[in-house]
Chains A and B, each alone.
Chain A
Amino acid sequence: MNVTRLSKYGLVAPSIALIVSLTIFPVLYLLWISFLDWDLQRAGRQFIGLANYVHGLQDRRMWEALGHTLFIVVVAVAAELVLGLVLAEALAGPLPAKKVIIPFLILPVIMSPIVAGYGWRMLWDTQYGPINQLLGWLVGHPVTLVWLINSKTVYFSLIVTEVWQWTPFMFLVLLAGLVAISPEIHEAAAIDGAGRWQSFWHVTVPLIRPLMLIAVLIRALDVFKIFDTVFSLTFGGPGTFTETITLYVYLLGFRNFRLGYTAAMAVIVLILISLATTVLLRRLSDE
């Protein structure tokens, strides 16, 4: 198609202007601040090169926050994958009423994570929450677990909440993969003597593996930035036991006002995320 260069680039220009002014420019500004000794509680600022980074890499609280975050990523995404696969496999067949039920199963994904987080805070409540009540019925005596403060249960609560909200996403993606598999392939496997489980493991899983990988990468990248759920459920507590990397940078920047140091931390997060993003984009471009 013939087109003038003016209209070709003119159509793109406004969007680039918006992205540059509110994404690229702020990131460059962030980079600049990260080289400064700038603390709102003290007057003045000066260039100190990489000192914030040197200091930052020795910050135990950052490494711990990174560890907490990675732990949640691995456990939550694995659980979402398994549960999503079970659900997709159950719903892949020609089940009556499927079309009516699926939109309801998806609702957690649509809900604002902060609203869901505060909602679950009421569910996990020791005295007034239904979870302890239900467990009490199961075991036959009152249960008084302090889910969100006890260090033995707090990660479980966080991860269940996260898994509740995002398993439907995994389910939706995998279902799309499963219904795309032609029944003839399963027939062929059955003729060759494969049972249902073998057919699932050796036929279905390899066929949807590329899709699984994309879904897992999307979720992992998202959970790595987890903030809302932790903010509303535990605020990083007890102590800093569940503090994630985004929450730590947030607290540094908006509670302590150590701007230069915060910026260096944010740049470190930016670099980690960019590396992971590259992997996802490479997968997307293979499609």
Chain B
Amino acid sequence: MTTLPTAPPWTKRAAFVRRYALAYLVLAVAFVFFLFPIAWIFGMAVKQPAEYFSSPPVWIPRAPDLGHFRQLVLNRSINSLANSLVIAGSATVLALLVGCPAAYSMARFNTGGRNFAFWVLSQRMLPPIAIVFPVFLLFRIVGWVDTYQGLTLLYAAFNTPYVIWMMRGYFRDIPVEVEESALVDGASTLRVFWSISLPLAAAGLIATAVFTFIFSWNEFLFAVVLTRARVVTVPVAMSGYFGSQSSFWGEAGALSVIASAPVFVLSLLVQRYLTRGLTLGAVK
């Protein structure tokens, strides 16, 4: 049946306009509410101290410059950017490396059954404080506090359940017939996984990678407990600018831009998978 949906009676012309006017009003308010804080924080980066430490504060900087970004380079805060990239990046790669094969096995051969899948997912929901406290004590014994491998492995382990759960869903979306025909042609399980299923699930794989990266990039509790000086990540470096006595708002603004810009861009790449990725696959 291909009947076009007819407009309900209330969308007669006047009501139509009213509905749109209302929608645009809501939208305008939402736009300001959600974006003004971000604009304010980012604006801090290019203002002079005399502008942000004046009461009332100055909204539009008179002579915007990149001095605070230069300051981040000079005081080596910028190192945290490299640390975050290395740690979040390696954790993402590792979580995908171990998670994808597991997800494939569970999606295709029902390995462990349904309960096992839910058990895996439940590991992602454990309270981070209950993980990081014993992990800190264990890392102290093996000397992994403030090391790349320590935080990387923890992020990988904590996000592997997420990768497994999401990728299991994406693999299940692939029609099984496609794989069966390859098997008939004599390909091995591993071969089918690698050259057929994985490419077919590529979009889901990229989305999952992006989310894993964003989770690790934004994470604070694990990082603040497990880093001291050497491998401080961006969120931890951020907290360093808000002491009880002094505040470096310009530098904090600049660091906020550096912390947010990469993940903002990444989120645009996976727009289509945003809902699915954030709701653990409950909404497709």
Contact = CB atoms under 8 A, between A and B. Distances in A.
Interface string B111-135: 1101000101111011111110111
Interface in A1-17: 1-4, 7-9, 11-12, 14-17
A30 B136 CA distance: 11
A281 B122 contact: yes
Interface range on chain B (Cβ under 8 Å from partner): 35 or more
Nearest to A277: B125
A81 interface: no
Given A19-B157, A111-B218, A128 B31 contact: no
Majority secondary structure of chain B interface residues (helix, strand, loop or mixed): helix
Interface stretch (B6-14, B65-73, B201-209): B6-14
Contacts of A236: none
Nearest to B256: A115
Contacts of B112: 12
B114 A285 contact: yes
Majority secondary structure of chain A interface residues (helix, strand, loop or mixed): helix
Contacts of B26: 86-87, 90-91
B166 to A, nearest CB: 13
A147 interface: no
B231 interface: no
Interface in A159-176: 164, 167-169, 172-173, 176
Interface of B: 5-6, 8-10, 19-20, 22-24, 26-27, 30-31, 33-35, 37-38, 40-41, 44, 52-57, 59, 94, 97-99, 101-102, 104-106, 108-109, 111-112, 114, 118, 120-123, 125-131, 133-138, 153-154, 156-158, 160-161, 164, 176, 179-180, 183, 189-190, 193, 214, 217-221, 225, 234-235, 238-239, 241-242, 249, 252, 255-256, 259-260, 263-264, 266-268, 271, 274-275, 278-280, 282-283
7 contacts: A3-B189, A15-B101, A22-B135, A87-B30, A119-B40, A270-B130, A281-B122
